[in-house]
Structure 1
Amino acid sequence: MNKIEWLTDGVTLMPDIDAPLLEKWIAAVAKTHNRIVGPLTYIFCDDPKIIEVNRRFLNHDYFTDIITFDYSRGRMVSGDMFISLDTVLSNSELVGATYQRELLRVIIHGVLHLCGINDKGPGEREIMENFENQALVLLDEIKS
């Protein structure tokens, strides 16, 4: 049984991802934070689904790129992550990144949350971005 599931909800196509490569990357990133990968589920969805999840479970009335539900225990990271492909696309255009690179950033963002990295408090966003950038460098190293 795979520890990582890649699902869709509300979108017709799975994003173009190399699941075995990403699974190796996610495990490597978790390891850099002294964590091991447990069951993870990525659910790629659209904006209507992400706002439904945001309203229903978090009482937030806004779009977001990712919502992470954390089921981690001890060193084992585990959780469900809803990723809005619509918001990933609009954010990629806003920041001048490719859609694929922004999608990778969001995929690892959820794992970093599961590793205990926050991004809501003072100075935390910069720390999160630094860890995201380090993770993307690690992915480039794994690819080569």
Structure 2
Amino acid sequence: MIEFDSQNNFEFSSPKNYIEWLNRVADSENCSIKSLNYVFCSDEFLLDINQQHLNHDTFTDIITFDYSVDDVLEGEIYISTDRVNENAFIYNVSQDDELRRVMVHGLLHMIGYGDKTDEESAKMRLLESQKMQMFHVKQ
């Protein structure tokens, strides 16, 4: 089950398309989604979470709380729509594409991919691109 909540009145069109896509991404990695809650929020909301739970005093685009067991995915993914919008502008991509990139980034972390080293980051970027292409593929 995938759910979307908003702390800042954020809405996107066609949530069903996102749910289908995220399930396809999980399936492509031989995982299943038991419970995944995306929470869309402001910079300030996510900064508070970052300070309280991770002891980081910086803005970020995403924080993932992973409660998964093996290949059964369960967790919460918090996304700052302020960061998504700013990053879309900085990197000259659409807000929709940046949102999908961040959403799949969190899911890939839950699947087990990291991004701490240069090698892991390169692999993560490649996977993000590959999985984003799956958004428009209907099964």
- In which range does the TM-score fall when normalised by the shorter chain? over 0.9
What is the percent sequence identity of the aligned residues?
A: 34
- SS of 1:81's equivalent in the other structure is strand
Match of 1:35 in 2: 31
CA distance in 1, matches of 2:53, 2:99: 23
Match of 2:6 in 1: 8
- Once the two structures are superposed, residues 28-62 of structure 1 have per-residue CA deviations (whole angstroms, 9 ceiling, x without a partner) of 10111110111000110000001000000001111
Letter in 1 for 2:3: E
Q: Which runs of 5+ in 1 are unaligned?
A: none
Match of 2:138 in 1: 142
Q: CA RMSD in A?
A: 1.2
* 1:14 Cα deviation after fit: 2.6
Aligned residue among 127, 130, 139 for 2:126: 130
- Once the two structures are superposed, residues 61-95 of structure 1 have per-residue CA deviations (whole angstroms, 9 ceiling, x without a partner) of 11111100000012101110110000001111111
- SS of 1:30's equivalent in the other structure is helix
Aligned residue among 89, 93, 96 for 2:89: 93
* 1:21 Cα deviation after fit: 1.0
* 1:100 Cα deviation after fit: 1.0
Q: What TM-score comes out, normalization by structure 2 length?
A: 0.95
- SS of 2:63's equivalent in the other structure is strand
CA distance in 2, matches of 1:14, 1:95: 21
Letter in 1 for 2:63: I
CA distance in 2, matches of 1:121, 1:65: 19
Tell me if the contact between 2:10 and 2:41 (Cα under 8 Å) persists in the aligned partners: no
* 1:20 Cα deviation after fit: 1.1
Q: Which runs of 5+ in 2 are unaligned?
A: none
Q: What TM-score comes out, normalization by structure 1 length?
A: 0.92
- SS of 1:62's equivalent in the other structure is coil
Structure 1 segments of 4+ aligned residues over 4 angstroms from their partners:
none
The reply to whether residue 59 of structure 1 matches residue 55 of structure 2 is yes
